[in-house]
């Protein structure tokens, strides 16, 4: 999602129709690859399939070692592409009036990298990160903010919930759902035995 603008400007003749084709093509390829990987993992390991399929491969052969090395290279090369839009956004929000500074940009990038490293060391399971991000950011971006923006645009204030009842129901319901989903993710991280005992 963060690459949309840079991809759009890199198109030979940038138009919305061409960008839609690129987005549909990229999503289609990603879905097909995910389905192939899911089917292959499920058919090979069945109920023994772990959350991270690389854990099933182990370290027995050179091929599995190469697969794990390529995955590490992939993550290493994708990380800067995700840091740049975040750094740019923070610089625009906090330092929009200031002159560009290489030191400030490098400092923000270093904070991102160190934060990611600390999270990776502290939370060894990627599913923990995905569940917390999904329960907070996904709910916020997909439901809470659109409903709040819609209410604010149509009524002039976020407080006038009665004037837009359907959007208000979506807003309140998604906030409640997001809080419970986030609490559930945090509790399952802190007390994994609660889930394993079910």
Interhelix angle 165-190/126-133, nearest 10 degrees: 160
Mean of all residue pLDDT scores within the chain: 81
User: CB under 8 Å, gap of 24 or more: what pairs does 22-29 form?
Assistant: none
CA atoms of 11 and 75, how far apart (whole Å): 25
User: Quick one: average pLDDT of 147-153?
Assistant: 86
- In the prediction, which pLDDT does 196 show? 60
Which tokens go with 192?
């994994």
CB 42 within 8 A of CB 49: yes
- In the prediction, which pLDDT does 195 show? 63
If you average pLDDT over each of 35-44, 126-135, 158-167, 170-179, which comes out highest? 170-179
Instruction: Kindly report, residue by residue over 48-74, the tens digit of the pLDDT.
Output: 877 777 777 777 778 777 877 887 788
pLDDT reading at 198 higher than 60 = no
> 173: pLDDT confidence band, cut at 50, 70 and 90?
very high
**What is 80-136 written as a DSSP string?**
HHHHHHHHHHHHHHHSTTSPP-HHHHHHHHHHHHHHHHHHHHH---HHHHHHHHIII
The span from the first CA to the last CA of the chain, in angstroms, equals 36
């Amino acid at each position: 999602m963060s690459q949309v603008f840079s991809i759009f400007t890199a198109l030979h003749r940038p138009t919305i129709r061409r960008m839609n084709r690129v987005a549909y093509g990229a999503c289609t390829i990603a879905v097909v690859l995910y389905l192939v990987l899911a089917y292959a993992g499920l058919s090979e390991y069945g109920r023994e399939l772990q959350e991270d399929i690389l854990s099933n491969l182990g370290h027995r052969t050179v091929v599995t070692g190469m697969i794990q090395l390529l995955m590490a290279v992939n993550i290493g090369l994708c990380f800067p592409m995700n840091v740049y839009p975040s750094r740019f956004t923070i610089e625009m929000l906090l330092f929009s009036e200031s002159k560009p500074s290489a030191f400030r940009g490098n400092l923000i990038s270093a904070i991102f990298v160190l934060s990611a490293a600390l999270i990776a060391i502290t939370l060894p399971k990627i599913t923990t990160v995905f569940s917390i991000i999904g329960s907070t950011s996904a709910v916020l971006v997909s439901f809470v903010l659109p409903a709040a923006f819609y209410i604010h645009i149509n009524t002039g204030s976020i407080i006038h919930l009665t004037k837009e009842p359907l959007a208000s129901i979506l807003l309140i319901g998604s906030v409640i759902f997001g809080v419970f989903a986030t609490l559930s993710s945090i509790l399952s991280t802190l007390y994994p035995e609660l889930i394993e005992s079910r």
